[in-house]
Structure 1
Amino acid sequence: MDTTEPTSSSRQILLAATEALIYAGGINATGMDAIVKASGVARKTIYRHFSTKDALVAQALRERDVRWMHWFSEETCRTAPGTARLLAAFEALAQWFATPGFRGCAFINAAGETGDPADPIRIVAREHKASLRAFLLQLAIEAGVAQADALADAWLILIDGAISVALVTGDLQAASRAHAMARGLLPTFFAPTTKESP
Structure 2
Amino acid sequence: MSTPPQTARRPSTARVRLLEVADELFYTDGINAVGIDRIIAEAGVTKATFYKQYGSKDALILEYVGGRDRQIRTALEDLADDSPDAGSVLAALVDAVVADTARPNFRGDPFLHAAAEFPQPSHPVRLVVAEHRDWFTGFLEEQLRGAGHPQPGAAADEFYLLRDGAMSGAYAGDVIAATSAFVRGAGRIIAEASR
Aligned residue for 1:144, secondary structure, equals coil
For 1:80, the aligned partner's letter is P
Aligned to 2:162: 158
- Are the equivalent residues in 2 in contact too, given 1:55–1:120 (CA < 8 A)? no
Q: How does 1:120-135 map to 2 (within 5 A)?
A: 120-135=124-139
Residue 183 of structure 1 and its aligned partner are, at CA, apart by 2.2
Identity, in percent, stands at 31
Q: Which runs of 5+ in 1 are unaligned?
A: 1-5, 192-198
181, 184, 190: which one pairs with 1:180? 184
1:56-82: CA deviation from partner (whole Å, max 9, x where unpaired): 111111112211333355457765324
Q: How many residues align?
A: 186
Aligned to 2:74: 70
Q: What is the CA–CA distance in structure 1 between the aligned matches of 2:172 and 2:59, rounded to whole Å? A: 28
The TM-score normalised by the length of structure 1 is 0.82
Q: How does 1:1-198 map to 2 (within 5 A)?
A: 8-74=12-78, 80-186=84-190
Distance 1:176 1:128, change over 3 A: same
Higher mean C-alpha displacement, 77-86 vs 165-174 = 77-86
For 1:99, the aligned partner's letter is R
- Are the equivalent residues in 1 in contact too, given 2:170–2:176 (CA < 8 A)? yes
For 1:85, the aligned partner's letter is V
RMSD of aligned C-alpha atoms? 2.4
Residue 7 of structure 1 and its aligned partner are, at CA, apart by 5.2
Higher mean C-alpha displacement, 73-82 vs 30-39 = 73-82
Distance 1:82 1:69, change over 3 A: closer
- Are the equivalent residues in 1 in contact too, given 2:148–2:193 (CA < 8 A)? no
Distance 1:90 1:7, change over 3 A: closer
Aligned residue for 2:175, secondary structure, equals coil
For 2:105, the aligned partner's letter is G
Aligned residue for 1:157, secondary structure, equals helix
Residue 88 of structure 1 and its aligned partner are, at CA, apart by 2.9
For 1:122, the aligned partner's letter is R
Q: What is the CA–CA distance in structure 1 between the aligned matches of 2:92 and 2:105, rounded to whole Å? A: 22
